[in-house]
């Protein structure tokens, strides 16, 4: 395996906000707490250790042990990390993601490997502490259409479960085997099928699968849609219901981001909460100024609830409430002894809107680390690249540029009639000048004839270029197919392909990623099979 890196900016696939963050642009410093360096974790450790209460740790470990009790067997590495979490010198490195079927796009895998690798690096640098990689399961998310499909070897697989409008983690797996699992290729590893066949809900299946893939690496997966854990949310619920402070904080951050030239990633509401109804729906809470009360919207009765009613409900049954994208990160940091959140570019962008929300609630803001991104080039594709005279890093360039490079290496004559066009333009200027002197009414005629001749020459240039390309049509066809394979639909491979595209033929892929990734190097990784 050959490993090389390049800057995120050089790929042309990431937002200016992310690349500016990695370049440590001064305009972004108000929106994060500490930049991700090994040295920065010393202060983060001290701050989190002071803020994280023993009761929170006890609540977390009890919930995790209960959740892992549903597995038939827990890997010793996970058992060891659950035990470590009981100690006040143990901290977490967290990434979060939706419950995508069979892990969804590759970047789900990259997130978790980044968390595992960073935990190892921190242990080596701060041996007096322990660090546990955590996958925060987005079980309360309700956007089923975003997670019910994945792409394998160019084919899309999809599960059409009945739409509930509720937390996806609670979804029963009705019809999944018939619609999807039975359609999979025979060489899909058994763990991917068994995780769903042996589970009752999507949350349970996702835990089983991540445990099968990452259990030996000590990954701990957390489902926070649990009544006992929601007790930690009570002070936040009370503050949100009384003051709507999170929206004010986000609006202030949005104004600052826009003033600095960046577009806010997520929309904040006056009340950044959902309500989980008895029917299993996840409904918005919206303040009704006219009646001075809060509506539970859309499919519910529409009855208006007073502030006191909501406060009483929050205190007695916090599990009926669900934080939206603005308050979910705060809930995460309340539950976990967390130092660092690892996310994609869009996640980093919306966390930049939230620092004020954390300050309002007196919770330490974590270090924000972009997940490792990677391009994997299998042995066959690597051989084709070399045959075309290209390197692994060339694949990020536009196809027309690559065609020119390949053409040059194959000895293709570059066709350009620019010089002839310039000579014609000079000749017509002389003719136009002559017409102006002899008969000015002919100037327009000269201009029209020039336009015709210019078009004829341009058409000849295209035909000659196609004739030149035809000599190497096979090579260009191979290049086009290869480019689409490595960057499907013009997007990064990690955003389209499922890990099974690689894992079926390369069972050691996850360990290769673990070896190749260096989270704090903040560089894009290219892995090329030799």
For the segment 392-396, the average pLDDT, to the nearest whole number, is: 88
CA distances from 168 to 103, 160, 209, 262, 469 (A): 14, 13, 16, 32, 51
Percent of residues in the chain assigned helix, strand, coil, to nearest 5: 55, 15, 30
In sequence order, the β-bridge partners of residue 130 are 90
Report the C-alpha gap between 111 and 395 in whole angstroms. Answer: 23
**pTM as predicted:** 0.87
pLDDT bin (cut points 50, 70, 90) of residue 299 is very low
Lowest mean pLDDT across 175-189, 457-471, 493-507: 457-471
* 11: pLDDT strictly greater than 90: yes
**Residue 369 — φ and ψ, nearest 5°?**
-125, 120
Q: Going along 44-200, which residue ranges are E strands?
A: 90-97, 130-137, 149-152, 155-158
Task: Give 439-472 pLDDT, tens digit per residue.
Answer: 999 999 999 999 999 999 999 888 877 776 665 6
Closest CA to 347 of 322, 328, 362, 363: 328
Please report which helix (H) or strand (E) contains residue 6, including its range: strand 2-6
* 278: pLDDT strictly greater than 90: no
B/e letters for 64-89, b = 16+ CB within 10 Å, e = fewer, are beebbeebeeebeebeebbebbeeee
Task: Give 108-161 pLDDT, tens digit per residue.
Answer: 999 999 999 999 999 999 999 999 999 999 999 988 889 999 999 989 999 987
Report the C-alpha gap between 131 and 120 in whole angstroms. Answer: 7
**Do 366 and 44 form a contact (C-beta atoms < 8 A)?**
yes
DSSP 8-state class, residue 266: S
DSSP 8-state class, residue 497: B
Distance of CA 136 to the CA centre of its chain: 14
For the segment 337-362, the average pLDDT, to the nearest whole number, is: 97
Report the C-alpha gap between 511 and 208 in whole angstroms. Answer: 19
Distance linking the first and last C-alpha atoms of the chain: 6
Q: What angle do CA 253, 292, 358 make, to 5 degrees?
A: 25
* Whole-angstrom Cα Rg for the chain: 29
B/e letters for 312-343, b = 16+ CB within 10 Å, e = fewer, are ebbeeebebbbbbbbbbbbbbbbbbbbbbbbb
Closest CA to 230 of 302, 116, 322, 342: 322
Report the C-alpha gap between 56 and 204 in whole angstroms. Answer: 23
Q: What is the mean pLDDT of the chain?
A: 92
Task: Give 313-334 pLDDT, tens digit per residue.
Answer: 999 999 999 999 999 999 999 9
What is the DSSP pairing of strand 374-377 with strand 524-528? Answer: parallel
Q: How many CA atoms are closer than 13 Å to the CA of 466, on its beta-carbon side?
A: 5
**Do 63 and 86 form a contact (C-beta atoms < 8 A)?**
no
Three-class DSSP category at 342: strand
């Amino acid at each position: 395996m050959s490993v090389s890196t390049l800057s995120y900016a050089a790929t042309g696939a990431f937002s200016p906000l992310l690349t500016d963050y990695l370049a440590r642009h001064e305009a972004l410093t108000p929106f994060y707490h500490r930049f991700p360096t090994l040295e920065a974790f010393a202060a983060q450790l001290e701050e989190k250790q002071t803020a994280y209460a023993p009761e929170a740790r006890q609540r977390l470990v009890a919930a995790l042990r209960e959740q892992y009790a549903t597995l038939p067997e827990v890997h010793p590495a996970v058992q060891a990390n659950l035990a470590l979490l009981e100690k006040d010198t143990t901290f977490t490195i967290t990434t979060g993601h939706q419950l995508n079927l069979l892990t969804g796009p590759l970047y789900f895998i990259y997130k978790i490997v980044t968390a595992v690798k960073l935990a190892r690096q921190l242990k080596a640098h701060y041996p007096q502490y322990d660090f546990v990689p955590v996958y925060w399961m987005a079980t309360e998310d309700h956007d089923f259409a975003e997670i019910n499909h994945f792409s394998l070897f160019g084919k899309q697989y999809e599960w059409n479960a009945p739409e509930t409008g509720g937390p996806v983690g609670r979804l029963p797996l009705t019809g999944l085997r018939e619609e999807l699992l039975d359609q999979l290729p025979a060489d899909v590893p058994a763990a991917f099928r068994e995780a769903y066949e042996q589970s009752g809900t999507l949350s349970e299946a996702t835990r089983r699968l991540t445990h099968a893939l990452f259990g030996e690496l000590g990954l701990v997966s957390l489902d926070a849609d649990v009544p006992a854990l929601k007790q930690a949310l009570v002070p936040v619920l009370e503050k949100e219901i009384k003051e709507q402070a999170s929206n004010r904080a986000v609006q202030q951050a949005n104004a600052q981001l826009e003033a600095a030239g960046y577009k806010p990633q997520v929309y904040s509401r006056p009340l950044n909460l959902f309500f989980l109804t008895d029917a299993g729906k996840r409904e918005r809470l919206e303040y009704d100024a006219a009646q001075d009360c809060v509506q539970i919207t859309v499919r519910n009765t529409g009855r208006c609830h007073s502030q006191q009613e909501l406060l009483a409900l929050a205190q007695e049954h916090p599990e009926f409430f669900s934080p939206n994208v603005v308050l979910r990160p705060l809930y995460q940091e309340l539950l976990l002894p967390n130092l660092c959140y690892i996310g994609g570019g869009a996640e980093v962008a919306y966390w930049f809107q939230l620092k004020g929300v954390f300050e309002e609630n007196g919770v330490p803001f974590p270090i924000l680390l972009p997940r490792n991104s990677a391009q994997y080039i299998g042995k066959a594709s690597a051989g084709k690249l070399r045959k075309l005279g290209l390197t692994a890093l060339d694949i990020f360039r536009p196809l027309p540029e690559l065609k020119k490079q390949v053409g040059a290496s194959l000895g293709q004559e570059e066709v350009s009639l620019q010089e002839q066009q310039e000579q014609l333009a000079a000749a017509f200027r002389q003719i136009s000048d002559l017409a102006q002197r002899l008969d000015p009414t002919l100037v327009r005629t000269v201009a029209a004839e020039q336009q015709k001749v210019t078009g004829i020459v341009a058409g000849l240039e295209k035909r000659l270029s196609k004739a030149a390309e035809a000599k190497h049509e096979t090579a260009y066809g191979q290049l086009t197919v290869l480019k689409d394979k490595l960057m499907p639909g013009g997007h990064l491979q990690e955003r389209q392909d499922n890990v099974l595209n690689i894992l079926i033929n390369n069972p050691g892929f996850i360990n290769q990623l673990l070896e190749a990734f260096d989270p704090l190097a903040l560089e894009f990784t290219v892995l090329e099979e030799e």
